[in-house]
Amino acid sequence: MDYQIKKAELKDKEAILGFLKETFSGYWSSDQPIYIPEFWDWLYCNNPAGGAITFVAEKDGRIIGHYPNVLQYLKIDNRIFQTGLVLHLATHADYRRLGVFKSLGQASMQELVRSRIPFSIAFPNQKSLPGFVNRLGFFDIATLPLLVKPLKIRNILAKVTKKPGLSGFLSYLLEPLYHMSFSHFKFKRNNINIETRESFDRQFDIFWNRSLAQAKIMAPRDSRYLNWRFKSRPLQDYQILAALEGEEIAGYIIMRNAEVFSLKTGIIMDFFVLPGRQEIFDALLDAALSNFRSQDMDLCISTCLKSNIYYKALKNAGFIAVPAGFNPRKLVLVGRINSSTVDKDLFLNKKNWFITFADWDVF
């Protein structure tokens, strides 16, 4: 197949947006505005790490493939690096299985090496995962569990069974058992005040500097990143809860509402607290769940790695890990090392990573 691979320029914006709309329309969730110009500018031009490195495949002047690396910062131990986050990878349906993905990926990786960007990461779906690992040299680092807390068991069962009578009977049996299993857990607020915030100010930078050592690898959660990720993002609203001890930020939790498989879902997008202070996270989690209940949500979802202290707290609060066979979209982290000077063992050890929904592109 005769097609050309080239590095995209700003003048290609409209053509790329048209290609993404054609490729994802009817497949991508209706609340994902990836082909809206405002979203493009926010993600590919205005992100804190300096834009994106994007390659496209063209055939007869028409875009048939799209492979972007959105630049972001990554804290690894005590250093900050640029990395490329592969998002919205796409090949036109008429040109699949013709090597477009591999050609785009190789051109992109070569450019990252030339630009001295030492890492690439992605969250591929199950169809593209083998291509990343077998063709582009990515490593499978971790699969994050989908954590679910039922808030209205009857509504969830009605959706699963599609039989109101059966769902009512099952709810009668299961709801007391569920609440009995987790009734031992009680949130303790202590002297922690929870406030709603509209944005992230310098206090969050002070908090970040006090807290960053607890995770070896993560995107820096400073005010610049948080404001870009959650306040500047077009066509999406988030709720910010901050925990305060005195006048100082001691932690935060960020939420949004969505409809997932026709269920009203509260999504815990991101969270971070002072090291070793699980009671702060418990207080924030209590406030978040109260917020979701007041908005009549059917369930709440979140994610983090099992090696993380937050995982135990979420499990104690009644979150259940969805079995892999029932998870509609596995959240798999893969990474590629583009520099021989990088500590491979450190980078590929999943216990070193802090990942939440905030690091994924879907929400």
Q: Count CB-CB contacts under 10 A for residue 193.
A: 12
Per-residue pLDDT at 22 exceeds 60:
yes
- Kindly state whether residue 72 falls inside one of the protein's structural domains: yes
User: Is residue 77 classed as helix, strand or coil in its secondary structure?
Assistant: coil
Q: What is the pLDDT of residue 185?
A: 54
Mark whether 133 and 161 lie in a shared domain.
no
Per-residue pLDDT at 159 exceeds 80:
no
Strands 62-76 and 90-91: antiparallel
Q: What is the pLDDT of residue 111?
A: 96
Mark whether 153 and 87 lie in a shared domain.
no
Q: What is the CATH number of the domain that holds 53?
A: 3.40.630.30
Do residues 2 and 59 make contact, with C-beta atoms less than 8 angstroms apart? yes
Mark whether 62 and 199 lie in a shared domain.
no
Q: Which domain holds residue 261?
A: 147-321
pLDDT digits (tens, 9 = 90+) for 315-324: 988 899 998 8
- Kindly state whether residue 327 falls inside one of the protein's structural domains: no
Do residues 203 and 195 make contact, with C-beta atoms less than 8 angstroms apart? no
Per-residue pLDDT at 180 exceeds 60:
no
Per-residue pLDDT at 162 exceeds 70:
no
- Kindly state whether residue 345 falls inside one of the protein's structural domains: no
Mark whether 153 and 261 lie in a shared domain.
yes
Q: Which of 289, 215, 306, 218 is nearest to 255 (CA)?
A: 289
Mark whether 194 and 170 lie in a shared domain.
yes
Residue 34 CA: distances (Å) to CA of 17, 102, 260, 289, 291 = 8, 23, 18, 29, 29
Q: Identify the H or E element spanning 344.
A: helix 344-348
Give the model's confidence band at 164: pLDDT under 50 very low, under 70 low, under 90 confident, else very high: low
Mean pLDDT of 111-123: 95
Strands 119-122 and 79-86: parallel
Cα–Cα distance measured from residue 160 to residue 162, given in angstroms and rounded to the nearest whole number: 6
Per-residue pLDDT at 137 exceeds 90:
yes
Do residues 268 and 319 make contact, with C-beta atoms less than 8 angstroms apart? no
Q: Which of the residue ranges 127-141, 180-194, 218-232, 332-346 would you say has the lowest mean pLDDT?
A: 180-194
Mark whether 184 and 308 lie in a shared domain.
yes
Mean pLDDT of 189-211: 92
- Kindly state whether residue 39 falls inside one of the protein's structural domains: yes
Give the model's confidence band at 28: pLDDT under 50 very low, under 70 low, under 90 confident, else very high: very low
Q: What is the pLDDT of residue 341?
A: 78
Give the model's confidence band at 35: pLDDT under 50 very low, under 70 low, under 90 confident, else very high: confident
- Kindly state whether residue 348 falls inside one of the protein's structural domains: no
- Kindly state whether residue 353 falls inside one of the protein's structural domains: no
Cα–Cα distance measured from residue 251 to residue 273, given in angstroms and rounded to the nearest whole number: 4
Q: Which of 257, 218, 259 is nearest to 356 (CA)?
A: 218
Mark whether 119 and 170 lie in a shared domain.
no
Mark whether 244 and 120 lie in a shared domain.
no
Q: Which two tokens stand for residue 170?
A: 């099952």
Mark whether 127 and 181 lie in a shared domain.
no
Per-residue pLDDT at 266 exceeds 80:
yes
Per-residue pLDDT at 21 exceeds 90:
no
pTM for the model stands at 0.90
Q: What is the pLDDT of residue 36?
A: 85
Per-residue pLDDT at 172 exceeds 50:
no
Cα–Cα distance measured from residue 259 to residue 240, given in angstroms and rounded to the nearest whole number: 19
Q: How many domains does the chain have?
A: 2
Q: Which two tokens stand for residue 246?
A: 């005195």
Per-residue pLDDT at 362 exceeds 90:
no
Q: Count CB-CB contacts under 10 A for residue 45.
A: 12
Q: What is the pLDDT of residue 251?
A: 97
Mark whether 151 and 300 lie in a shared domain.
yes
Give the model's confidence band at 23: pLDDT under 50 very low, under 70 low, under 90 confident, else very high: confident
Give the model's confidence band at 182: pLDDT under 50 very low, under 70 low, under 90 confident, else very high: low
Of the residues 289, 304, 321, the one at which a domain ends? 321
Q: What is the pLDDT of residue 297?
A: 95
Mark whether 152 and 298 lie in a shared domain.
yes
Please report which residue ranges of 115-163 form alpha helices under DSSP H: 129-135, 153-161
- Residue written as token pair 């500018």: 41
Cα–Cα distance measured from residue 316 to residue 116, given in angstroms and rounded to the nearest whole number: 43
Q: What's the mean per-residue pLDDT of the chain?
A: 88
Mark whether 135 and 100 lie in a shared domain.
yes
Do residues 271 and 250 make contact, with C-beta atoms less than 8 angstroms apart? no
